[in-house]
Amino acid sequence: MLPSRRLYWLVVAATLCSVLALLLPWSRVLLLGLDGLLLALLSVDLVLVWRAVPVRVERTIPERAGLGKRFARRLKLTGTPGRRLRIHEEFGALLERLDAGSEMELVTDAQGQAVAEHEFQGLVRGVHVFARLRIAHLSPLGLWWRQTLYEGTQTIQIEPPLTRLRQTLELAASDLRRDPGTKLLRRRGGTFEFESLREHVPGDDVRLVDWKAFAKRGRPIVREFQEERGQELILLFDCGRRMAVAGGEPLSDGGQGRSFGWTKLDHALDTGLQLAAVALRQGDRVGALAFGAGVQRWIAPARSSKQQERLRDALFDLKACEEEPELDRILAELALRHRRRAYVVIFSDIADPLSLEEQRRALRAASRRHKLLFVALDDPELRGKSAQADAWSAAGIEELCRERAGSARSLQQSGVRVLDALPAESALPLLAAWLSLRARG
């Protein structure tokens, strides 16, 4: 129980009256009456606030939201009509409330209800917590605040937002980017996808006759079907210290949210899950492996309708570690876990000159079994500084860029396709590169 501001002012007024009573003895009787009245009011108000209907709280939040995307948290409070409420909500430090701080005030309506909806966004991927609520309601006379602590937690998963998924899917489905690597098997009969019409030949199953086309053309026409034989795609995510580097903000997402210090790993997961959605839609089996000092997550390739959800749930909370992965050991582990030939997309970065040869040998060895696409995520801050730097700094940055280009060519010569791109701009070039690689079979 806490005194309100009104009570403080009444106490100040009573104190002033006491001083006045020292100067005017005749007013002491009046002062005693006022003190008695104030004490009675305090007592009555205290009893009323204790007997008030307890406030009931319902808090609603979504199960998941994209990194940097806005989501709504809704509070529904039920109690005594016309009651003023002061609310303090505890939530994770990496959640930001966009329209106010953690304190808020509400007044219940004639039905004793008050609703508050506020927008939040997650600043970092992972599981974030909305914790307890501390609610204080004002007494009927406005002299006391009665505080109640509501325990309980709710969690929300902040995941890669897949900012350009719709655009990526549309591009993959367009005629300009139609994947010629899909193998079609002609079948007579069955319930497979319709491909075309053709003239009837002796031996065709009568069930394949298209009777509408027969009636229109005056000769037997049969339907042909096709069966798509999918391929396999495995996404490898480097969770080493280089992937914790700031990867710049993503491209505009139509005003739906903004990013806060996205790392290279954030962009890699966002881009990789978009590619997985495209591959699954085309009938491929898709899996993933995340690695740091060792294998952190492994999701075996599958083609089911739930595979995209499995990938997202397994990868959304990955964090970059301090260690530098040993790529040769990780690729050897992949060979043990997955023995069939597959398309392997590795999200990482080009090693420093001292470690480049080890990286090249590891990729060359793995390319004998799998088709590799190495996505090297560049440092956007370095590129941005080149335009603003002085002559000496610009020359140093240019030398680093030339060194990086030479390293990329060295990796390319080991039989691996290398895509060198800025993290926020890698999604569409990766899609084009993967479709091109897949088309060559």
- Do 224 and 193 form a contact (C-beta atoms < 8 A)? no
DSSP H helical segments within 98-220, as ranges? 165-173, 211-217
The domain locations on the chain are 1-159, 165-179+230-439, 186-227
Amino acid at the residue 36: G
**Count of C-beta atoms within a 10 Å radius of residue 227:** 14
3-state secondary structure 213-229: HHHHHCCCEEEEEEEEE
With residues binned 3-state (H G I as helix, E B as strand, rest as coil), the percentages for the chain, rounded to 5, are: 40, 30, 30
φ/ψ of residue 252, rounded to 5: -55, 135
- Residue 331, pLDDT score: 94
- CA nearest to 165, candidates 303, 272, 299: 272
- Whether the predicted pLDDT of 311 surpasses 90: yes
318: region left, alpha or beta (phi > 0 left; psi from -120 to 50 alpha)? beta
Which of residues 238 and 79 earns the better pLDDT score?
A: 238
**What is the band of 296 on the pLDDT scale with cuts at 50, 70, 90?**
very high
In this model, does residue 424 exceed pLDDT 90? no
Q: Which residue has the higher pLDDT, 326 or 438?
A: 326
Region 243-261: what's the mean pLDDT? Answer: 56
Residue range 295-302: mean pLDDT, rounded: 94
**Distance (Å, rounded) from C-alpha 110 to C-alpha 79?**
10
Tell me which DSSP letter residue 244 carries. G
Give the tens place of pLDDT for each residue, 211-246: 888 888 888 888 876 544 568 999 999 999 989 888
| Residue range 19-25: mean pLDDT, rounded | 73
Residue 12, burial from CB neighbour count under 10 angstroms (0-12, 13-18, 19+): exposed
Per-residue pLDDT tens digits for 330-355: 999 999 999 889 999 999 999 888 88
- pLDDT higher at 114 or 141: 114
Per-residue pLDDT at 191 exceeds 60: no
Residue 172: predicted pLDDT: 75
Tokens (6 digits) for 181: 């690597």
The CATH T-level fold of domain 1-159 is: Immunoglobulin-like (2.60.40)
Q: What is the mean pLDDT of residues 110-133?
A: 90
Contact 275, 236 (CB under 8 A): no
Name the pLDDT band for 120 (thresholds 50, 70, 90): very high
Predicted local confidence at residue 187, as pLDDT: 39
187 vs 18, higher pLDDT: 18
Domain 165-179+230-439 classified CATH 3.40.50.410? yes
Mean pLDDT of 32-48: 79
Instruction: Confirm whether 1-159 and 165-179+230-439 share one CATH topology.
Output: no
Q: What's the CA gap between 382 and 397, in Å, rounded?
A: 7
More confident of the two residues 84 and 247: 84
Strand partners, 16: none
What is d(CA 127, CA 315) in angstroms, rounded to the nearest whole number?
12
Q: What angle do CA 122, 308, 94 make, to 5 degrees?
A: 10
The pLDDT of residue 61 is: 94
| Residue type for position 403 | E
pLDDT at res. 253 = 41
Comparison of pLDDT for 205 and 121, the residue scoring more: 121
- pLDDT band (50, 70, 90) for residue 417: very high
| Predicted local distance difference test score (pLDDT) of residue 257 | 38
Mean pLDDT of the chain, nearest integer: 82
Q: What is the pTM of this model?
A: 0.75
**Is residue 386 scored above 60 in pLDDT?**
no
Q: What is the pLDDT of residue 385?
A: 58
Work out the average pLDDT over 160-173.
81
pLDDT at 222: 83
CA dist 88 to 75, 94, 109, 340, Å?
12, 17, 20, 56
Compute the distance between CA of residue 175 and CA of residue 441 in angstroms, rounded to an integer: 19
Nearest to 120 by CA among 192, 57, 61, 179: 61
pLDDT of the residue at 185: 39
Name the pLDDT band for 40 (thresholds 50, 70, 90). Answer: confident
Q: What is the pLDDT of residue 309?
A: 94
